[in-house]
Amino acid sequence: MTIKPDYSQATPSDLGKVHFIGIGGSGMSGIARMLIKAGHSVSGSDVRDSKNIEELRSLGAQITIGHAAENLGDCDTVVVTSALWPTNPEYVLAQEKNLPILHRSQALKYLTTGKKLISVAGAHGKTTSTGMVVTGLKNLGQDPSFVNGGVIAAYDSSSASGSSELFVIEADESDASFLYYDTAVALITNVDPDHLDHYGSLENFEAEFARFANQSSEFVVISSDDPGAVRVTNLIKDHRVLTFGFATGSDIRLVDVDSSGPQVSFGVEYLGATYSTSLLIPGRHNAINAAGAFAVLVGLGFEPEATLQAIAEFAGTVRRFELHGQIRGVSVYDDFAHHPTEVSAALEAARAVVGSGRLVTVFQPHLYSRTRLFAKEFAQALAASDEVVVLDIYAAREDPEPGVTGALIADAFADQKHMHYVPNWDDVPAAVAQIAQTGDFVITMGCGDVYRQVPGILKALQE
């Protein structure tokens, strides 16, 4: 079992030298990058090298690949994630030395102190919505600070320190750490059931989203379409609320959505006027994300027409339908989708791009609990592909569950002719290359390490 955030640990007024255990992730590396800019000495460790780690090293961080007690050095403060195991030797030594051990949400709160905080939460759509809010603000002449869960393509970064009072973050609901921030503006993209291993029930999950909304000091932006979000809206008390979506009566209402091509176009009705635009990215779900970002910015007082055009310049985030190469007439993409609703949305957007080409989805389930709870729903969502390759489960923070493997999803497929269960990691590239034909679109999908299959798939296609 992984560690839980311990908010009884006081955050030092000065973090001094900071050591990150698991520094390579988008969120952790983003916080580390900002602490370096603020003048802190930063060190860290992770299980493998990455672009994030290379960048941090170029900024002066001392980073070791592999976890060992000696990596702590003479640090003053340790920052950890919820994905950390309590037996991690660096974590154990930090406890023995009575060092302040902060969950990453505590380090992020430290950075946001004194800022007007826009917190983006939801079961999915957070990273894109955060990127859209940041892009909109920047194109409207603002200079916000931000920490996102993924790299915003236009800025080639998941974080930055800005000069304005505005600070935009992707707030993680998976361990309820989104409740820890002093949020001014809360954006809730949806409240689709997830992380029930942590919350215990759907009622608890929704109650914590309502708590997140009610803790905001200025206003709440929330989906008018998602059933869970509608139930949460009914629990929001004494707050200014802006709803967005397709539903009649939405404060920001989506109209005329055309997601049939590589760039989704749509209009938004707001205060009796309609404003229209096209995004640089595909997908009906991205029109919805843009409507939420629009609601945040007009709620802050920005002019509607200029706001929508500012958001429209958003060019995507890394690992969201990202093209990596074309070999033998086969295009290879990667996408972060890891919940059935996300998978459906991602494949719908992909279908609009591929036209007559076949979709070959290489899916890696994430978490034993999510796979057990949603195996049937994953099979139904993935059926939008022409061919599907299912890998075994990326465990992340969970212990294995007997009988829970990727086969649960594979076996739930109605059409077994187009389902290929490949539990051996090394067998995946050859399996994909054998399936793929000229004109196909291969998409690796999941929030684990399935993206590491991309080079091997490209090589296997070449061979």
**How confident is the model over 373-397, as pLDDT tens digits?**
899 999 999 999 999 999 999 987 6
Question: 173: pLDDT confidence band, cut at 50, 70 and 90?
Answer: confident
What distance, in Å, lies between the first and last C-alpha atoms of the chain?
Answer: 42
Partners of 116 in the β-ladder: 166
CA distance linking residue 271 with residue 109, whole number of Å: 35
> Quick one: what percent of the chain has pLDDT higher than 90?
75
pLDDT computed for residue 220 by the predictor: 98
Q: Average pLDDT, stretch 179-203?
A: 82
Q: Average pLDDT, stretch 400-426?
A: 93
1, part of any domain:
no
CA-based nearest residue to 210, from 178, 182, 184: 178
Partners of 441 in the β-ladder: 331, 359
- Picking from 68, 103, 138, the residue at the C-terminal end of a domain is 103
What are the residue ranges of helices labelled H in 200-261?
A: 202-215, 227-233
- Picking from 279, 311, 343, the residue at the C-terminal end of a domain is 311
The total of structural domains in the chain comes to 3
284 with 411, same domain: the answer is no
Please check the confidence at residue 441 and state whether its pLDDT lies above 80.
yes
pLDDT computed for residue 35 by the predictor: 96
Q: Average pLDDT, stretch 350-364?
A: 89
E-strand ranges in 237-351 read 240-245, 252-258, 265-270, 273-278, 322-327, 330-335
284, part of any domain:
yes
**How confident is the model over 39-78, as pLDDT tens digits?**
999 999 998 888 899 999 999 999 999 999 999 999 999 9
Q: In 3-state terms, what secondary structure has residue 266?
A: strand
What DSSP element (H or E) covers 362?
Answer: strand 359-363
Q: Which domain holds residue 263?
A: 114-311
Residue carrying structure tokens 């809360």:
186
Please check the confidence at residue 273 and state whether its pLDDT lies above 90.
yes
What DSSP element (H or E) covers 377?
Answer: helix 368-382
**How confident is the model over 238-266, as pLDDT tens digits?**
999 999 999 999 999 999 999 988 889 99
E-strand ranges in 7-47 read 18-21, 42-46
Mean pLDDT rounded to a whole number for the chain: 92
Please check the confidence at residue 280 and state whether its pLDDT lies above 80.
yes
74 with 170, same domain: the answer is no
81, part of any domain:
yes
Q: What CATH number corresponds to the domain at position 188?
A: 3.40.1190.10
Please check the confidence at residue 409 and state whether its pLDDT lies above 80.
yes
pLDDT computed for residue 199 by the predictor: 57
More confident residue, 450 or 27: 450
Partners of 400 in the β-ladder: none
301 with 178, same domain: the answer is yes
127 with 197, same domain: the answer is yes
231, part of any domain:
yes
CA distance linking residue 428 with residue 457, whole number of Å: 8
6, part of any domain:
no
13, part of any domain:
no
95 with 122, same domain: the answer is no
63 with 168, same domain: the answer is no
Residues with catalytic function: 126-127, 170
298 with 171, same domain: the answer is yes
CA-based nearest residue to 418, from 360, 363, 364, 335: 360
E-strand ranges in 36-189 read 42-46, 62-65, 77-80, 101-103, 116-121, 145-152, 157-160, 166-170, 185-188
10, part of any domain:
no
What DSSP element (H or E) covers 72?
Answer: none
Query: What's this model's pTM, rounded to 2 decimal places?
Result: 0.82
pLDDT computed for residue 198 by the predictor: 57
pLDDT computed for residue 194 by the predictor: 64
* 180 in Cβ contact with 130 (< 8 Å): no
Please check the confidence at residue 429 and state whether its pLDDT lies above 60.
yes
CA-based nearest residue to 118, from 224, 11, 217, 14: 217
Lowest mean pLDDT among 24-28, 132-136, 186-190, 234-238: 24-28
125 with 198, same domain: the answer is yes
252, part of any domain:
yes
CA distance linking residue 335 with residue 343, whole number of Å: 9
pLDDT computed for residue 55 by the predictor: 93
Residue carrying structure tokens 């320190």:
161
pLDDT computed for residue 10 by the predictor: 86
- Max CA pair span of the chain: 63
Burial, 440: exposed, middle or buried (Cβ in 10 Å; 0-12, 13-18, 19+)?
A: buried
